[in-house]
Every structure is written in structure tokens, then in C-alpha cells.
A and B are shown apart, each in its own frame.
Chain A
Amino acid sequence: MMSYKPAVSVRDLRVMRGGRAVLHGLTFDVPRGAVVGLLGPSGCGKTTLMRALVGVQIVEGGTVAVLDAEAGSPGVRRRVGYATQNPAVYADLTVAENLAYFASVLRAPRSDVERVIGEVGLGDHRDQIVSTLSGGQLSRANLAVALLGAPELLVLDEPTVGLDPVLRNELWDLFRRLADRGVTLVVSSHVMDEARRTDRLLLMREGRLLADGTPDDLRARTGADDLEDAFLRLIAEHEESAP
């Protein structure tokens, strides 16, 4: 279900880090209930953009509105779920203890802990100390925190990195189910084959948006068969037009 008002509305977003421009005036909208893939090579500004969406990034200029409010303003903090690329959970607590803590902070119901453990498939590891989890389990524990409460917008930074294809597939099925319920998802990845599972793609390179459209649009526009090719052609095109 996509409603008229966008879930995310970014206008001329500029971010500086260490005296260097990291985002050079990004402008885009994300419709509600869409799964949007944020793709681009490592270091292109994906994480910085996601931090701006949840309101923890100092921005130089431009506006970032999420769910009709300023990003990070008190009213939207409970309605946005955020999972960083490096797992932000307490290594010395169990999976369930971590989730119980973050659930209390979000004032989410207690039953949410078991629900999200089930959603990310960590049922067998609920009472395991986080530092003893495998890499894939750890990133699922990290994702589970973002699913607590009933977030209307999920900002997920590389949630499937280090996961085997079966688990990756299960998580993309979960993302789709959430979107069908009206949740908007912004998911970053550098794996191009994940791009085909999104409704919309934002291709980034060096702090700029190279393209914004559906996977089919991008293939049609570039005449490429797969998205990896499409991306490479867009880069070549971009470099010709702006040497």
C-alpha cells in the first residue's frame, strides 16, 4: 500500500565530515510502504545518509523529513527503527536481555521480545550471551532491536551482510511482509542481486545520487540486462557528462 505523502522527504541534504563534503545536496522522496534499496560502493555516503534519516548525523544544510516530521525529532523517535552496520548491542548481555532493555526504552510491549526473536530466527539463541554469537547471528540480533515496537519506517544499514543465501532470502521475505503491512524500509546493500527485491533503488556514488527509480526503469534506461551492468553504465554516463 503506497499512500500519497512520502515517508521520507530529503531536500538538498549536505553533510561535511572532517572538513570534506560527504553528501553533496541529495534530493529524493521515499513513498510509504515501499522497500527502497540504497546501493553504492563502500564509502559513497550510504551510512551517512542513513544516519541523517534517523537524526543522529550533524548536517551542513538541507532538510530531512521522515513521517511528516523533522528527522530525529522527539515525536518520531519511537516510530523509526534503525540498525547500524556494526552491531549496536551489548556484547555482555544475552539476546533476550538486550531486546528487553531496548523494548523498555521504546515502551514496546514485553511480548515484542519473543516476536522479534522469532522474526529474525534466533529462537535457539535467545539466552545466549551476544559476544558468543556468530557474525550472522549477531547481525540478526542487531536487526531484531530495530523491529521492536511498531516502527513505521525502518532504516537498515547492510542488514544481510555476512548471511548465507537462505537466511538472506528469509530476511528479504520478512522485509516484504513488513512493507505489505505499510512499513517503509530503507535498506542499504552493496550486493547487487539484492537490488532486484526492492521496489525502488537509489544508486549512490561519491556522495551523489546517480539514479532513483525502479529496478526495471534502471535496466530499461541503461539497456543493461542485470543491475550490476546498469550501475556500471550509469557511472560511465555520469563521468562523461561531468568530467
Chain B
Amino acid sequence: MSVPIILATTRRILAQLKHDHRTLGMLIGVPSLLMILLRYVFDEPVLFDRIGPMLLGLFPFLIMFVVTSVATLRERTGGTLERLMSMPTGRLDLLLGYSLAFGLLTLVQVGVVLVIALTWLDLDLSGSLASLVVVAVLDALLGMALGLLASAFARTEFQAVQFMPAFVLPQLLLCGLIIPRERMASWLEAVSDVLPLTYAVDGMREIAANPDVTGRLLLDVAVIAGFVAVALLLGAATLRRRTA
């Protein structure tokens, strides 16, 4: 592992985004726009206070999944991954460089949404801001790690983009956001128990409802972190130095 290579990779990814104003604008603007829409679609502060934080966990996850799966697929198909693998780059350097860049991006993304939600939209958050930001960044890293893993199974950007519904929509249906998990058939509840997004949404719900850091929140955080670690390790295994 090399810190200079990690930092150089983070700088490079941020520079790529800096040149791509449209992507950057959408990364920051779309979650805010959706939040505003949500507030006025429900038009009921109590409901918004309950759902809003859950979406704050969902946006970074969704967006980082898509961005990372396409970005790493480009590295694989464009030859830059092979070039980096012929250099002293470690696989971990690349993964941590990506994590740091997207982690920073999530801070900005969540920061903007939060400012809008807490001032203009009057979101009433019971829990602490800090824990909300921690869970949001973890959710983003989860999306990133899964996107990286998914990119190994796509040959084209066309396929990569379609992994979003394939990987993410089933989780979205089962995570408890649409229908409480207790009301699902028991086998569906069992499936949702092993899906990472369940814990991401549950963590946000805890923060929305409780002023203190609850044991359940800590458990959610630990489970998400575990999923991130496993997905990153599996993702690392798909970055091969030698290919056929």
C-alpha cells in the first residue's frame, strides 16, 4: 500500500469530475432536487421527517453505485487499469483512492442536501447530524464497493448501467422503505435480512427517530461497514494484474 499513490488516484478522480461539469452538477443537484420534490409531494411534515433521512442514505448509495460501476468499467476496457497494473500500483491503492474521492464527494453531496433539507424544507431530525453524515458516507462507500464488484461482470457500459436496477431495485423493494419488513412474507423478510441496503435504511430511520445513538444504530453501522469491507475485498479480487 502506498499513500502517495492513493492520494494521486484521489486527485486524478476529482480532476476527472472537475472537467465533467454536467456529471458534477447532477451528482450534487439531483439528490437536492429529489428531496425538494419529496417534501412537496408528501406535503406532510411528519411523513417527510420519517422518509427524508432514509432517502439521504439511499441517494449516495445509488449514485455511487452507478458512477463507480461505469468508471471502473472504463478503466478495465480503456486499458488504463492494465497500464496501472504494469506499474507499481497496488490493487488496494486504487480501491482506497476511489474510496477517498467518492467519500469526499459524498460529504459535499450530503452536505448540500442537508443544508437545503434543514433550512428550506424544515426537516426535523431527532438524531445527531454527525451520525447521519457517517451513515451516509458509509452508504456511499457501500454503493461504490458494490459498483466496483458489478463492473467485473459487465463487458460494456450498456450492461454496467443495467446492473443498477438488477443489483439495487430488489434491495430497494425489500429494505423496508416501501413496506415495513415485518409485514412482508417471512421468506422475504429473511432475504432482506442479508441485503446491505436494509441496514442502510434502518440506520437512517434510527437517526430520524432517536436523539441518542442507539444500540440498533451501532449494529446497523457495523453491518454496513462489514458489507463494505467484504465487497471491497471481492472487488479487489476482480482487479487482476494478469489477464487472458
Indicate if the CB atoms of A56 and B79 lie closer than 8 Å: no
**Dominant SS among interface residues on chain B:** helix
- What is the CA–CA distance of A231 and B94 in the complex, to the nearest angstrom? 44
Question: Would you call B20 and A145 a contact (CB within 8 A)?
Answer: no
A103 to chain B, nearest CB (A): 9
CA distance A89 to B78 in the complex (A): 8
Beta-carbon contact of B242 and A57 below 8 Å: yes
In the docked arrangement, what's the CA distance between A182 and B98, Å? 37
Evaluate whether A84 and B12 lie within 8 angstroms (CB atoms) in the complex, with A58-B243, A74-B88 already known: no
Is A88 in contact with B12, judged by CB distance below 8 angstroms?
no
CA distance A91 to B80 in the complex (A): 10
Closest to A54 in B: B86
- A residues 36-61 near B (Cβ < 8 Å) are 51, 54-58
CB-nearest residue of chain B to A78: B88
B16 and A93 contacting across the interface, CB-CB below 8 Å:
yes
Interface size on B, residues (CB 8 A): 26
Q: Is the CB of B79 within 8 A of A88?
A: yes
Contact with A along B74-115 (1 / 0, CB 8 A): 000011101111111100000000000000000000000000
Asked whether A105 is an interface residue with its Cβ less than 8 Å from the other chain, the reply is: yes
Q: A106, B83: Cβ atoms under 8 Å?
A: no
Docked pose: A238 CA to B56 CA in angstroms? 69
User: How close is B86's CB to chain A, nearest CB, in angstroms?
Assistant: 5
> When A56-B85, A56-B243, A93-B12 are in contact, do A84 and B5 touch as well, CB less than 8 Å?
no
Report how far A72 CA is from B20 CA in the complex, Å: 34
Given contacts A82-B86, A84-B79, A88-B83, contact A57 B243 (CB under 8 A): yes
Whether A88 contacts B15 in the complex (CB less than 8 A), given A56-B242, A101-B8, A105-B88, comes out as: no
Scan residues 88-119 of chain A and give those whose CB is less than 8 A from a CB of chain B.
88-93, 97, 101-102, 104-107
Task: Say how far A20's CB is from chain B's closest CB, in angstroms.
Answer: 11
Cβ-based interface call for A17 (8 A): yes
The answer, yes or no, to whether B11 is at the interface (CB within 8 Å) is yes
Q: Is the CB of B87 within 8 A of A86?
A: no
Distance, CA A224 to CA B114, complexed state (A) = 77
**CB of B241 within 8 Å of the partner chain:** yes
Query: Which of B1-56 touch A at CB < 8 Å?
Result: 4-5, 7-9, 11-12, 15-16, 19-20
Residues A72 and B242 in contact, CB atoms below 8 Å apart: yes
Q: How far is the CB of A79 from the nearest CB of chain B, in Å?
A: 10
Residues on the A chain within 8 Å of B20, using CB:
92
**B244 CB contacts on chain A under 8 angstroms:** 16-18, 57-58
A58 x B242 contact (CB < 8 A): yes
Q: Cα distance A93–B4 when bound, in Å?
A: 19
Min CB distance A129 to B, Å, is 6
Report B-chain residues with C-beta under 8 Å of the C-beta of A88.
78-80, 82-83
The chain B residues found within 8 Å of chain A, CB to CB, are: 4-5, 7-9, 11-12, 15-16, 19-20, 78-80, 82-89, 241-244
A-B contact pairs, 10 of them (CB 8 A): A57-B243, A58-B242, A77-B88, A84-B83, A93-B15, A101-B12, A105-B84, A105-B87, A105-B89, A129-B19
